[in-house]
């Protein structure tokens, strides 16, 4: 019988010499120095979450934990590198054996060691988005799906559907029913594609990014040896942004933790805003039940915002029922200025106020890089982009491309450009290529047919486009779509004259493009909103040439800057961002726009009366508020007179009712003689 002999570490002062009590506030110190076990750290906005995790790793190393026994799971490689880098700066321990990275990168490391168990080899390939698209396209092509009458979802959309099912643990049918109900009639065909895609990956020794999670979970669930190996290896597991974990990530954490390993999950339930991509807030709310006997630490000291902003933020989030109780406290002195509540006449006035106030702040010493304009959805930034451009204020957009550079906007505008310039080959080919079965070869043949018709060089418009174009030979797959395409062009030039820009764009959207949009993009609703916003903007133009010229001038990022913008083109820029993209960032001054019901909160969520979704919208509002350090402007238009469906009276966002009026200062916007709003 073997003799047991235990090694004991000699007790000594921490090797790094860190004074944890002096370096951390009481709340952080309690979490960092907590004993082994299961712990949830609720770290409020601006409370030093990264600092807490970093010092926790240093504490473990200083108290005898081998670096190879620590696993740090993050959502970005940047976060992992930052934390490990800070640990190296803090202490002298060797961290080269510490496992730190995203869930996907850790899954990849595990699978490289055990791929054979799952039928792959260790040299498996990882499919990127284009690889996945090509593989799915090949599978769809081999199934001979009849798409003559109705479009079948494109590979990018199918990939998004499969990914959502994998990450939420929902069935394919449930995903279609909840988020892509317009594809339910294709359920059998989509299921066949999914099954063949799964088999094709195995046959070609390939995995996509979702497999790096799902196959890791499958390995740990089904293989006792592998599960025991990693549970023994990782004695301390730390998870960043725990509120953003989905079903697969939650299960992966459970399996690695097992019954005896320590787990510290750090996050903020009030900043859980990603359910639309599979994040499950119940992971953080249900942590004490998921891990019985766990401790909950709350870090409420905020180092970012002035007290006036935090008081408003705390009041706003209290309306949510599903939350941990906490109140952020500012480490800063009062500013003496309340957040501004600004009612404006219409979206144009909203943009004018934002533009002028940004100029004021800059003149008062606030760098443009410390100013942000935040919004619920990208389409809400159009008026702001136009206004800042007109004022020569440089800006950067983190929520997407500049408005008129987006693919779906350029698709729609191709119709308008072609009917006004019948020799525009680029617009013609872009336009016809939207039809199924119409690739570059077919597009070239159709262009040649158009040139041969003689109408390309005539000054006058065709009496009816359909009389000319319907005679052109197109693939059988395109026949029905080509017919509708021709009729849509007829609507753009009724009686041989150009319709108004808004009417033309609406005809293209409803006639041919909406169906294409659904089949081609997984974020259909957002892209349609973008188009509707451009239609609304176009109502101020009666002349199509003037409208197209304005679109062209606005679509160039690299064009020649003018005026003040030229002086600052390489310097500071105002940030325009969706709130989702702004999470984790901060600015001295923040403008939050379009605070009206239907815009924020989202109209679909208001109509559904889904309390959980409404609470997530309120958390999104809270995230926006807590981005501001010094100045906060809450802005809502009272009227939307330029809607192409008619004037709309706007109701202030219901979120503005969640806090006492005394927490904000109302601003009345008047028109001066020199700066008319």
Per-residue three-class SS string for 481-543: HHHHHHHHHHHHCHHHCCCCHHHHHHHHHHHHHHHHHHHHCCCHHHHHHHHHHHHHHHCCCCC
Q: Kindly report the pTM of this predicted structure.
A: 0.86
> Reduced to 3 states, what is the DSSP secondary structure of residue 342?
strand
8 A C-beta contact, residue 75 and residue 49: no
Is-contact 320 619, C-beta < 8 A?
yes
| End-to-end alpha carbon distance in the chain | 90
User: Do 402 and 555 meet the contact criterion of CB atoms below 8 Å apart?
Assistant: yes
304-341 tens-digit pLDDT: 999 999 999 999 999 999 999 999 999 999 999 999 99
Which of the residues in the chain have pLDDT under 70?
1, 7-14, 148-149, 399-401, 553-571, 641-646, 671-677
- Is the CA virtual torsion 305, 311, 313, 314 positive or negative? positive
Element (H, E) at 382: helix 382-391
Which are the catalytic amino acids? Answer: 49-50, 240-241, 271, 627
Cis peptide before 601 (omega within 30 of 0): yes
Residue appearing with tokens 């909103």: 529
CA 509/CA 531 separation, integer angstroms: 8
190 φ, ψ (degrees, to nearest 5): -65, -40
Burial category of 211 from C-beta neighbours within 10 Å (exposed 0-12, middle 13-18, buried 19 and up): buried
259 contacts: CB under 8 Å, gap ≥ 6? none
Please choose, from the candidates 282, 97, 248, 90, the residue with its C-alpha nearest in 3D space to the C-alpha of residue 167.
248
CB of 302 within 8 A of CB of 628? no
**Residue 405 structure tokens:** 């550079």
Q: What is the 3-state secondary structure (H, E, C) of 248-279?
A: HHHHHHHHHHCCCCEEEEEECHHHCCCHHHCC
| pLDDT tens readout for residues 133-160 | 999 999 998 998 887 667 899 999 999 9
Q: Is the dihedral of CA 618, 623, 629, 631 positive or negative?
A: negative
Q: What is the pLDDT of residue 9?
A: 54
β-pair type (329-330, 340-344): unpaired
C-beta atoms surrounding 190 within 10 Å: 25
- Of the candidates 29, 30, 78, which has an alpha carbon nearest to the alpha carbon of residue 585? 78
The per-residue b/e assignment along 143-153, b for 16 or more CB within 10 angstroms, e otherwise, is: eeeebeebbbb
User: In sequence order, which residues have a C-beta less than 8 Å from that of residue 222 and are 6 or more positions away?
Assistant: none
Instruction: List the structure tokens of 450.
Output: 């158009």
Residue 545 tokens read as 């040439």
For residue 498, the tally of other CB atoms under 10 A from its CB is: 18
């Amino acid at each position: 019988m073997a003799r047991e002999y235990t090694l004991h570490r000699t007790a000594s002062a921490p090797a790094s010499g860190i004074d944890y009590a002096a370096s951390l506030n009481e709340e952080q110190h309690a979490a960092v120095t907590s004993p082994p076990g299961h712990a949830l750290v609720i770290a409020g906005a601006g409370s030093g979450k990264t600092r807490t995790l970093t010092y926790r790793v240093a504490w473990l190393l200083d108290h005898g934990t081998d670096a190879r026994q620590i696993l740090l799971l993050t959502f970005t490689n940047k976060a992992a590198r930052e934390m490990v880098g800070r640990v190296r700066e803090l202490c002298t321990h060797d961290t080269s054996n510490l496992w730190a990275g995203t869930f996907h990168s850790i899954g990849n490391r595990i699978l490289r060691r055990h791929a054979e168990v799952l039928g792959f080899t260790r040299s498996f390939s990882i499919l990127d988005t284009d690889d996945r698209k090509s593989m799915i396209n090949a599978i769809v092509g081999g199934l001979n799906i009849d798409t003559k009458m109705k479009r079948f979802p494109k590979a990018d959309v199918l990939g998004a559907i499969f990914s959502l099912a994998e990450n939420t643990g929902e069935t394919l049918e449930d995903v279609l029913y909840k988020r892509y109900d317009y594809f339910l009639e294709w359920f059998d065909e989509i299921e066949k594609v999914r099954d063949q895609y799964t088999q094709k990956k195995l046959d070609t020794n390939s995995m996509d990014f979702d497999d790096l999670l799902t196959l890791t979970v499958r390995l740990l669930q089904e293989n006792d040896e592998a599960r025991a190996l990693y549970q023994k290896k990782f004695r301390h597991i730390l998870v960043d942004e725990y509120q953003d974990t989905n079903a697969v990530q939650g299960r992966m954490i459970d399996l690695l933790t097992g019954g005896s390993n320590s787990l510290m999950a750090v996050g903020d339930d009030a900043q859980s805003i990603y359910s639309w991509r599979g994040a499950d807030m119940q992971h953080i709310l249900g942590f004490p039940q998921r891990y019985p006997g766990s401790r909950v630490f709350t870090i409420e000291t905020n180092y970012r915002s002035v007290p006036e902003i935090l008081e408003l933020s705390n009041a706003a989030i209290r309306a949510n029922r599903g939350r941990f109780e906490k109140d952020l406290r500012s480490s800063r002195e009062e500013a003496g200025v309340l957040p501004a509540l600004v009612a404006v006449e219409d979206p144009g006035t909203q943009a004018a106020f934002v533009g002028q106030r940004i100029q004021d702040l800059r003149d008062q010493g606030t760098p443009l890089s410390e100013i942000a304009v935040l919004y619920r959805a990208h389409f809400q930034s159009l008026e702001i982009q136009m206004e800042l451009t007109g004022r020569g204020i440089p800006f950067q957009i983190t929520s997407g491309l500049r408005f008129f550079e987006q693919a779906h906007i350029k698709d729609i505008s191709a119709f308008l450009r072609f009917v006004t310039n019948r020799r525009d080959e680029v617009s013609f080919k872009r336009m016809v290529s939207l039809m199924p079965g119409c690739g570059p070869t077919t597009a070239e043949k159709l262009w040649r047919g158009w040139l041969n018709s003689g109408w390309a060089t005539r000054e006058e418009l065709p009496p009816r486009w359909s009389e000319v174009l319907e005679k052109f030979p197109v693939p059988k797959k395109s026949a029905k779509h080509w017919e509708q395409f021709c009729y849509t062009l007829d609507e753009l030039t009724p009686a041989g004259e150009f319709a108004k820009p808004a009417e033309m764009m609406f005809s293209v959207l409803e006639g041919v493009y909406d169906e294409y949009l659904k089949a081609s993009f997984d974020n259909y609703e957002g892209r349609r909103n973008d188009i509707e916003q451009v239609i609304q903007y176009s109502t101020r133009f009666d002349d199509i040439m003037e409208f197209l010229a304005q679109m062209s001038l606005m679509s160039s990022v690299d064009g020649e800057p003018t005026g003040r913008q030229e002086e600052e083109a390489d310097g500071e820029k105002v940030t325009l961002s969706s709130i989702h993209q702004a999470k984790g960032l901060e600015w001295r001054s923040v403008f939050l726009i379009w605070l009206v019901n239907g815009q924020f909160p989202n109209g679909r969520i208001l109509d559904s009366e889904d309390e959980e979704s409404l609470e997530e919208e309120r958390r999104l509002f809270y995230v926006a508020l807590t981005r501001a350090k010094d100045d906060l402007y809450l802005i809502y238009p009272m009227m939307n007179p330029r809607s192409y469906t008619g004037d709309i009276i706007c109701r202030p966002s219901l979120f503005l009712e969640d806090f006492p009026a005394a927490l904000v200062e109302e601003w009345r916007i008047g028109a001066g003689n020199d700066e008319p709003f």
